[in-house]
Amino acid sequence: MKFIIEPGGTMSGTLRVPGDKSMSHRAIMLGALATGTTRATGFLSGDDALATVAAFRDLGVSITGPDDGVVSIEGVGLHGLSAPANNLDMGNSGTSIRLLSGILAGQPFSSVLSGDVSLQQRPMGRIITPLSLMGAMITAADSGRPPLEIAGGQKLRGIHYDLPMASAQVKSCVLLAGLFAEGRTSVTEPAPTRDHTERMLRGFGYSVHTENGVISLEGGGSLRATRLDIPADISSAAFFIVGAVITAGADITLEHVGMNPTRVGVINILRLMGADIEVFNEQEVGGEPVADLRVRHSALRGIEIPVEEVPLAIDEFPVLLIAAACAEGVTTLSGAEELRVKESDRIASMAEGLTILGIRNEVREDGIVVHGGELGGGSVRTFHDHRIAMSFAIAGLRAKEPIEILDCDHVATSFPNFAALAQEAGLGLRIES
């Protein structure tokens, strides 16, 4: 499936993008490990979150939905999962395989986790190392890549682990394994990353300490079922935020967006570039800040992106680089080598597409330099990466000629109704097979 974007579109109206992907995964995982029934609203019916649902069904957990964003999970308690009959297929989802590995490392049964072609290229050594230090037995097929074989019946012990990279997935994996470990498990991070695991564990009544940058918990406690209201995903909202900022006359309102301080890098960076983003109706829902956003067209200027914002906007760089292409002057991204190990090498994928559209850029090992300029049309590849596809769709708002975006099927991993919502907002998007 491909997208064709015709020039002359806009971004206007009021809309709500689907539920937060990170929180949707965690809702299933913690709901399954709790005692009682957890009910979540705003759940993301995207392929990645559905892979987590399917895996927990395979582990013997009864889950109803998602139906119109509502999902109910019959928790089996910390020690109630059962052996899966088959290998667990994590599809395209790095979050599913890494977090689930932490949980499965502490089970009495063995399991095998795998995924699609993209997932099989992604590094798992980053979780195998700390889990092995805790006493887990994990073998990876090929130089630390999936499939992963996790041996059951290993006794885990709590450790302290200094994360070598800023990764919420690695942090969460270690903390989730810590639930099954004897004693205390603690981590430090080189820079703060999204803290949904910590917040949601507390929401399930599990004590997690965060003090002087050390995050810790004691193994062997229990989780109590709860109600969750999952906000709209700021990573999905980002496409509409950038779309409105770069388009003359645009004015869009996005409702109930998750505004966790560890996720708002996209807003901080765009504001530094000169974007007009109004935040209102701020409230806290189930331990997570939420707000409505009104975004209007603004003249952007190129900046050096502060490195401390990088982990707080890690999934938004593809679309932020479209904003950079539309800015006056030069934008420099550095300290972002993690982008090379996402669903595609996002530095290389964006560089190729930007070059095709006539935007000068220089690739660096840990980032990219983008020279703002006039966007032309052309045919761009997505490397089967959902965020690359949606970012170039947004570029079509400023391009002088149509943009053809190849291989857009993976958009459904995080944002199944992207095309429909974008059309509703005024983007000239057409789907072709």
Ligand X SMILES: C=C(OP(=O)(O)O)C(=O)O
Annotated binding site for 3-phosphoshikimate: 21-22, 26, 167, 169, 315, 342
Q: How do strand 330-333 and strand 361-364 relate by DSSP bridges? A: unpaired
* SS3 readout for 285-338: ECCEEEEEEEEECCCCECCECCHHHCHHHHHHHHHHHHHHHCCECEEEECCCHH
Q: Shortest distance, CB of residue 412 to ligand X, whole angstroms? A: 12
Kindly state the smallest distance separating residue 292's Cβ from ligand X, in Å.
Answer: 23
Give dist(CA 168, CA 50) in Å, integer. 20
- 172 touches, from ligand X, ligand S3P, none (C-beta below 5 to 8 Å by class): ligand S3P
Q: Which is it for strands 184-188 and 160-162: parallel, antiparallel or unpaired? A: parallel
Tell which positions 251-310 bind ligand S3P, by CB under 6 A: none
Q: How far is the CB of 39 from ligand S3P (least distance, A)?
A: 21
Please enumerate, by residue number, every residue annotated as part of a binding site.
21-22, 26, 94, 122, 167, 169, 315, 342, 346, 387
Maximum distance among all Cα pairs of the chain, rounded to whole angstroms: 61
The one of ligand S3P, ligand X, none whose footprint includes residue 343, by CB under 5 to 8 A per kind, is ligand X
How many Cβ atoms sit within 10 Å of the Cβ of residue 132?
14
Instruction: Give the count of alpha carbons within 13 A of 374, CB side only.
Output: 4
Task: Closer to ligand S3P by CB, 112 or 341: give it.
Answer: 341
Taking the least distance from each CB to ligand S3P, the nearer of 26 and 39 is 26
Q: Among 114, 118, 154, 167, which residue sits at the site for ligand S3P (rule: CB under 6 A)? A: 167
Binding mask 123-152 for ligand S3P (x = CB under 6 A): ------------------------------
Q: Does 22 bind ligand S3P (CB under 6 A)?
A: yes
Shortest Å, Cβ 189 to ligand S3P: 10
Strands in 124-273 per DSSP E: 138-142, 145-150, 160-162, 184-188, 209-211, 214-218, 223-224, 227-229, 251-258
Is position 315 annotated as part of the catalytic site?
A: yes
Angle of the 234-246 helix axis to the 418-425 helix axis, nearest 10: 30
Residue 237 CA to its chain's centroid (Å):
12
Find out whether 163 and 189 touch, Cβ atoms under 8 Å: yes
- Binding flag, residue 20, ligand S3P (CB under 6 A): no
- State the amino acid at position 238 in one-letter form: A
The residue range among 69-77, 163-171, 220-228, 274-282 that interacts with ligand S3P, by the rule CB under 6 A, is 163-171
Is residue 65 within 8 Å of residue 30, measured between CB atoms?
Answer: no
Determine which one of 20, 116, 195, 315 is catalytic: 315
Residue 97 Cβ vs ligand X, minimum distance, rounded to whole Å = 8
Segment lying near ligand S3P (by CB under 6 A), choices 2-10, 168-176, 327-335, 417-425 = 168-176
Report the interface residues with ligand X, using CB under 6 A: 48, 93-95, 315, 342-343, 387, 414
Q: Which bin fits 50, alpha (ψ -120 to 50), beta or left (φ > 0)? A: alpha
Which CB, 297 or 342, lies closer to ligand X? 342
What type of residue is 410?
H
Q: Would you please indicate which residues are annotated as catalytic (active-site) residues?
A: 315
Binding site for ligand S3P (CB under 6 A): 22, 94-95, 167-169, 172, 194, 314-315, 338
